[in-house]
Amino acid sequence: MLQALNLLIGIVGVFAAYSTLVSTINEIWNTLRGTREVYLWWGVARLVGVRDRVPGGWGIRGAIRNVMRRVHQPPAGYRDEPSQLLAALFGHPWIRALCARDDTSRHPPHIPSDIFAAALTDVVMAHGLPPSHGRHLDAVVVANVGLPEAVRRLPPGIALTLIMQRALQRSGGDRTAFEAEVARTFDESMAQVTDWFKQSMQWQSVLIGLVLSAGLGLDAVHVGNVILGKANVASLSWPPPWVAALYDRSGKDFWLSVAGIAIMGLAAFVGPTAWFQLLTALTPLKTSLTALQARPAVGAPTGAGSIPVGDRPAAVPPTGNVLEAMLSPERIRQLQAALGVTPSGTLDASTRQALRDAQQRLGMPVDGRLSATLWSKVVGTPCVP
């Protein structure tokens, strides 16, 4: 039981460390590629009502990038109203201030809902105003535009118009309540986008985990053998075991390595948080099981030739004397007969007192313990247990 638990803890520890490494590589890779900002942009585009559809699958990031280029750098003479609103929103000073770099081709990886709601309200209120009114913030002040009028100017039938109409109805025209409704809608929409992003990260972790496991030769089967002591750490060196197993006619080691690599990919999919939680739960269990196995069983012998604790007379404490432990009941009865006590076959209290009397009479140290010299003088024969 304890050996199986040690194996489980070892495997879980390896999975936790491995998934942490994979997650770190995945995080660095997606940060450099700007994946978060791409997904955020696409979530806002859906919210505004950009009609370009992005196919699912491995090419989703590239497809979103193409839509972003068409919106922010449209062909000459072409830009529909939802795309204009989207470009204006991401060009708002409050949104631009969240970008890590002053680059018009990059977008912020995160937008707080209150800032998004305030910026979108500015964009909606400035939409459709004559160019002479200038930029968003000045245009709203100069034209003294109200929320109902601004919402009526939005193009009909797009997602943004429906969201603005619902927010206007629930807020009663109050801008603070209107922005709170927009912020709530934004949070709900971004929750779905976050789920998509997490799923994409998980599958990327599986891919990275499989590649690392195959390249480094770190498969779960061989790791388990190392933990059990059936293989040494050198077996995990290059070339990986699955490469060498390709030349095995039976193919058994090859498929074991493939299974081990697949398990490592699954461990990366689960993620480090779950593995560390499991490791935290297993560690106290191992401590308790180790303490339970170390505890002596009730009635178990405490030493060679000794009497179980439950059967030993209460008045007779254990002495730790090797000679006494080696004596058979017959030899103890022989000693008791020489001492003149009842022959019980055990060194009971009356026998101990008789030994003390004999030691005092013979001028020996009085401790009630039997020695070879005392046996010879009392019984008259050499001590043979």
What confidence tens digit (pLDDT) does each residue in 248-270 have?
545 666 777 788 888 888 888 88
State whether 313 and 291 are in the same domain.
no
> Do 326 and 291 have their domain in common?
no
- Residue 301 maps to a domain: no
Kindly report the backbone phi and psi dihedral angles of residue 233, in degrees, each rounded to the nearest multiple of 5, phi listed first. Answer: -65, -30
CA 212/CA 348 separation, integer angstroms: 71
Q: What's the rounded mean pLDDT across residues 66-75? A: 50
Q: Is residue 302 part of a domain?
A: no
Residue 304 forms part of a structural domain: no
Which residues, including other chains, have CB under 8 Å from residue 92's CB and lie 6 or more apart? 119, 122, 123, 136
Residues 195 and 281 in one domain: yes
This prediction's pTM: 0.54
Which pLDDT belongs to residue 240?
61
Q: Which of 342, 347, 343 is nearest to 321 (CA)?
A: 347
Domain final residue, candidates 267, 295, 323: 295
Neighbours of 250 (CB within 10 A): 8
Greater confidence (332 vs 80) lies with: 332
Secondary structure of 37-80 as H, E, C letters:
HHHHHHHHHHHHCCCCCCCCCCCHHHHHHHHHHHHHCCCCCCCC
What's the CA gap between 160 and 180, in Å, rounded? 15
Closest CA to 145 of 175, 106, 188: 175
Q: Taking residues 77-84, report their average pLDDT.
A: 64
Q: Which of 243, 270, 295 is the last residue of a domain?
A: 295
pLDDT digit string, tens, across residues 294-310: 655 544 444 444 444 43
118 assigned to some structural domain: yes
The answer on 251 and 107 residing in a single domain is: yes
Do 203 and 348 share a domain, yes or no?
no
3-state secondary structure of 337: helix
Tokens, residue 244: 């060498």
Query: What would the pLDDT profile of 204-219 be if each residue is shown by its tens digit?
Result: 888 998 888 887 777 7
CA distance 38 to 110: 10
Query: Does residue 146 fall inside a structural domain?
Result: yes
Mean pLDDT of 75-80: 47
Instruction: Show the domain range for 150.
Output: 1-295
Classify residue 13: in a domain, yes or no. Answer: yes
Q: What six digits make up the tokens of 154?
A: 């939005």
Q: Do 267 and 148 lie in a common domain? A: yes
For range 160-186, the mean pLDDT: 89
69 and 3 belong to one structural domain = yes
Shared domain check, 243 and 362: no
Which of these ranges, 3-12, 56-65, 197-206, has the smallest mean pLDDT? Answer: 56-65
Residue 264, C-beta contacts closer than 8 angstroms, at least 6 positions apart: 15, 18, 209, 210, 212, 213, 218, 219, 220
Q: Residues 89, 235: one domain? A: yes
Q: 326 and 288, same structural domain?
A: no
Q: Is the pLDDT of residue 236 over 80?
A: no
Same domain, yes or no: 219 and 246: yes
380: enclosing H helix or E strand: none
Write out the E strands in 22-170. Answer: none
Per-residue model confidence as pLDDT tens digits over 116-141: 999 998 888 887 655 444 444 444 44
Residue with tokens 């930029």: 135
Number of domains in the chain: 2
Looking at 232, 264, 295, the residue that finishes a domain is 295
Is there a single domain that holds both residue 108 and residue 237?
yes
Domain membership flag for residue 188: yes
Token pair in block for residue 358: 């004999």
